[in-house]
C-alpha cells in the first residue's frame, strides 16, 4: 500500500486569546501543532501499513517551521515527509492545487487520507477538492478504513444509522476525530525518526501554471464565551442533582 496523508500545521486553537476591545484573536506566541484529525488520518494509515505493509508519505503545505511538526509525524510512523511553503495569499484553491501537485509528483498512491476538517479554518474542503482534481473516488467523514483484497471499506456513523461504503483504489478518505486514538511515539521511535527524510519542494517543482487565489478571508473575530454563572449552594447531593438536571436541560447530558 502506498499511502499519502495530508497534514496541516495549525495554531493550537485552545491557546488563542481574544482581544476584548477589537475581538481579534491574539495569535502572537500561540504554539503550532498538527491539526487533530490529521493525526487520526495518520493513525489509520499506520494501522493499514502494519497489516498490509507499504509506505506512508506525509504532505504539508505550510510555513518552513512546519518541518518540526512533520518530524512528530515521522516519529508516529510516517516514512517520509514533504513540505511545500505556499506563496503569500494562499486560499483553498491554491493550497488544494499545491497538495495535488505534490501527490502527482509522488506519483504512486493507493489511498490518500485527510482529516475531516482542520481545527483552525474547518472548511472541510481540502479532501473533496483533492479527489475532484485527481478525478478519484472519495469517502468523507469515515470512521474506519479497512483494506480488503482490491477495495477499501469505510463505515460512516450518521448518528441514527451506520453507512458502509466500498471503493476501489486509488481513493481519498477523510477521517473523523472519533475514528481512532492517535498513538504517542515512543522514545525509540522519536530517535529513529531523525533519519527519515523530509523533502522541501519549491512551489515551481509541483505546479507550473500561475496560481491565482479566488477567495479572500477578510476578517476573523473571536466570539466571547457566555457563561451562566450558576452557583449551587445546597448540600453536595442536591447540588449534583441540580447540576445534572441543568446539563440535561441544555442537552449536554441525555
Ligand X SMILES: Cc1cc2nc3c(=O)[nH]c(=O)nc-3n(C[C@H](O)[C@H](O)[C@H](O)COP(=O)(O)OP(=O)(O)OC[C@H]3O[C@@H](n4cnc5c(N)ncnc54)[C@H](O)[C@@H]3O)c2cc1C
Question: Contact positions toward ligand X, by CB under 6 A?
Answer: 6-8, 35, 37-38, 41, 59-63, 86, 89-92, 95, 99, 114-115, 117-118, 120-127, 216-217
* In the complex, least distance from residue 229 CB atom to ligand X, rounded to whole angstroms: 34
The residue among 54 and 124 lying less far from ligand X, judged by its C-beta, is: 124
Radius of gyration of the chain (CA): 21
* In the complex, least distance from residue 4 CB atom to ligand X, rounded to whole angstroms: 10
* In the complex, least distance from residue 22 CB atom to ligand X, rounded to whole angstroms: 19
* In the complex, least distance from residue 201 CB atom to ligand X, rounded to whole angstroms: 13
The residue among 100 and 147 lying less far from ligand X, judged by its C-beta, is: 100
The residue among 88 and 209 lying less far from ligand X, judged by its C-beta, is: 88
Grid cell of 101 as nine digits: 501537485
Triad 59, 63, 116: Cα angle to 5°? 45
Beta strands at 146-147 and 151-157: parallel, antiparallel or unpaired? antiparallel
Query: Which string of DSSP letters, residue by residue, matches 148-197?
Result: -SSEEEEEEE-SS-EEEEEEESSEEEEEPTTS--PPPPPHHHHHHHTTS-
State how far the Cα of 53 lies from the Cα of 140, in Å rounded to an integer: 24
* In the complex, least distance from residue 246 CB atom to ligand X, rounded to whole angstroms: 33
How remote is the C-alpha of 2 from its chain's centroid? Answer: 19
The residue among 75 and 114 lying less far from ligand X, judged by its C-beta, is: 114
Residue whose beta carbon is closest to ligand X: 115
Amino acid at each position: 500500500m502506498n499511502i499519502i496523508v495530508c497534514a496541516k500545521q495549525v495554531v493550537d486553537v485552545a491557546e488563542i486569546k481574544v482581544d476584548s476591545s477589537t475581538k481579534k484573536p491574539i495569535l502572537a506566541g500561540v504554539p503550532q501543532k498538527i491539526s487533530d484529525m490529521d493525526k487520526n488520518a495518520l493513525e489509520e494509515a499506520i494501522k493499514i501499513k502494519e497489516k498490509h505493509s507499504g509506505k506512508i508519505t506525509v504532505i504539508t503545505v505550510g510555513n518552513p517551521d512546519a518541518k518540526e511538526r512533520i518530524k512528530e509525524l515521522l516519529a508516529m510512523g510516517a516514512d517520509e515527509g514533504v513540505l511545500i511553503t505556499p506563496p503569500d495569499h494562499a486560499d483553498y484553491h491554491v493550497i488544494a492545487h499545491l497538495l495535488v501537485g505534490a501527490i502527482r509528483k509522488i506519483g504512486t498512491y493507493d489511498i490518500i487520507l485527510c482529516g475531516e476538517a482542520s481545527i483552525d479554518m474547518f472548511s472541510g474542503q481540502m479532501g473533496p477538492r483533492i479527489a475532484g482534481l485527481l478525478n478519484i473516488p472519495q469517502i468523507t467523514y469515515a470512521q474506519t478504513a479497512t483494506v480488503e483484497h482490491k477495495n477499501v471499506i469505510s463505515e460512516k456513523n450518521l448518528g441514527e444509522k451506520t453507512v458502509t461504503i466500498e471503493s476501489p483504489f486509488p481513493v481519498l478518505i477523510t477521517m473523523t476525530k472519533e475514528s481512532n486514538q492517535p498513538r504517542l511515539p515512543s522514545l525509540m521511535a522519536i530517535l529513529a525518526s531523525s533519519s527519515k527524510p523530509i523533502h522541501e519542494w519549491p512551489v515551481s517543482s509541483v505546479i507550473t501554471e500561475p496560481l491565482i487565489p479566488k477567495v479572500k478571508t477578510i476578517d476573523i473575530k473571536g466570539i466571547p464565551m457566555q457563561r451562566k454563572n450558576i452557583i449551587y449552594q445546597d448540600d453536595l447531593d442536591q447540588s449534583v442533582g441540580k447540576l445534572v438536571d441543568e446539563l440535561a436541560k441544555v442537552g449536554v447530558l441525555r
